[in-house]
Amino acid sequence: MELKKLRNQVDTLDSKILQLLNQRAKLVKQIGKIKSLHKKQYYAPEREREILSQIIKNNQGPLSSEAVKEIFSEILHTCRSLEKKLKIAYLGPEATFTHQAAIKNFGKSAEYISAKSISDVFAEVEKERADYGVVPIENSTEGVENHTLDMFIESDLKICAETLLEISHYLLSREENLQKIKCIYSHPQALAQCRNWLEDHLPNAELIETASTAGAAQKVKKESTAAAIASDLAAELYGLKIVASRIEDRSDNFTRFLVISKNFPAPSGMDKTSILFSIKDRIGALHDMLVPFKKNNINLTKIESRPTKKKAWEYIFFVDFAGHIVESKVKKALNELEEQCLYLKILGSYPRAE
């Protein structure tokens, strides 16, 4: 009798939750109409960050903060699709880690467009065949994705959000016997992230680079003695066996992904700004470029350099720092920086991923 009573209480609460969710959905549809009338962006990462932060702050358990975030993220994604079903371009095919990062950020209700390369993701957004694009920018083990950095030099698209995805690699094959595997396909980053495991377990296997991990899984479907390093989702999607699990060399293996669009969002209060700049080749030049950030008490979180490809030994620097371009101290630092550098480009200000 006690169990039945408790279940009846759960059923009553479920009905109330459903009613409240539909009330929320109706309000979101009204918001969507206002956004359409005023030509505002349907995706507002700063607002979603604000909602999730407040909900987690108010959470008193027993649900964990991570569980609450996951539940409410899906509510946000589903309700956003009532305003507009967004089209999202990603580095494909299906089941790549970029595809999984896109779903994490936009939910299952969005429409996903597979692109063959990072430059194709940029092109889809630039030509307005997609509302947003998702591209990898760096891995905690292997570092930066140079192709993405190079695209920001050429493109006028902005960074409007970022997301982090924990990366776990699986060895996939039609063959169950590890010793019969003669070659391994995967993206160069995935091969590098599993270098030690491969040397220990398959030292004689030929390593073949592919454009994506999911593309590697597609190739292995047709070869009996080949394997792919990819996700467990790729195994399920392409009908392959998991020969070995979690073969990455480091357990704390994360990849950071960027969301690109033609606009960047308003401040969320917990933001990051990305810029690129070039400097004259002289003694102490880079030091002088970084002084404005120290002077204005701005924390730099990343700095990378890339050749300009226009002149030998000429470089462009990519910098991430805490803050949003509307903040007075950020404006001051960028004005001081611009006075000293040859070229300055603001790539975006956006909510920091947690």
pLDDT at 56 over 80: yes
CA distances (Å), origin 77, targets 71, 102, 255: 10, 12, 22
pLDDT digits (tens, 9 = 90+) for 332-349: 999 999 988 888 999 999
Inside any domain, residue 342: yes
Q: Give the CATH number for residue 311.
A: 3.30.70.260
Give 126 or 282, the one with higher predicted confidence.
Answer: 126
94 and 147 share one domain? yes
Alpha helices of the chain — where are they, by DSSP H?
2-37, 45-58, 65-83, 97-106, 118-126, 146-154, 188-193, 195-201, 213-220, 232-238, 285-295, 328-340
Range of the domain at 221: 176-244
Contact by Cβ (8 Å): 188, 143: no
> Which position among 255, 264, 273, 293 bears the catalytic label?
255
Q: Say how many C-beta atoms besides its own lie within 10 A of residue 25's C-beta.
A: 14
212 and 234 share one domain? yes
Which among 229, 261, 293 is the end of a domain? 261
How far is 204 from 178, CA to CA, in rounded Å? 12
Give the pLDDT band (50/70/90) at residue 303: very high
Dig out the tokens for 88 from the structure.
Answer: 């999202």
How far is 193 from 133, CA to CA, in rounded Å? 25
How far is 28 from 26, CA to CA, in rounded Å? 5
The pLDDT value given to residue 311: 66
Inside any domain, residue 41: no
Inside any domain, residue 127: yes
Specify the 3-state DSSP secondary structure of 272: strand
94 and 151 share one domain? yes
Sort strands 241-244 and 111-115 into parallel, antiparallel or unpaired.
Answer: unpaired
Dig out the tokens for 224 from the structure.
Answer: 């009996």
pLDDT digits (tens, 9 = 90+) for 101-111: 999 999 998 99
The pLDDT value given to residue 145: 86
Inside any domain, residue 53: no
Read off the pTM: 0.87
Inside any domain, residue 69: no
The whole-number average pLDDT for the span 228-245 is 93
Inside any domain, residue 21: no
Give the pLDDT band (50/70/90) at residue 310: low
The pLDDT value given to residue 312: 59
The whole-number average pLDDT for the span 285-301 is 91
Which among 205, 235, 261 is the end of a domain? 261
Inside any domain, residue 184: yes
205 and 161 share one domain? no
Question: What is the number of domains present in the chain?
Answer: 3
Task: Give catalytic status of residue 257 as yes or no.
Answer: yes
The pLDDT value given to residue 285: 78
162 and 199 share one domain? no
185 and 162 share one domain? no
130 and 160 share one domain? yes
- E strand residue ranges, 218-354: 226-230, 241-244, 254-261, 271-278, 300-307, 315-322, 343-351
The pLDDT value given to residue 289: 87
pLDDT at 257 over 80: yes
Inside any domain, residue 51: no
Please give the mean pLDDT across all residues of the chain: 92
pLDDT at 313 over 70: no
The whole-number average pLDDT for the span 80-93 is 92
Percent of the chain scoring above 90 in pLDDT = 73
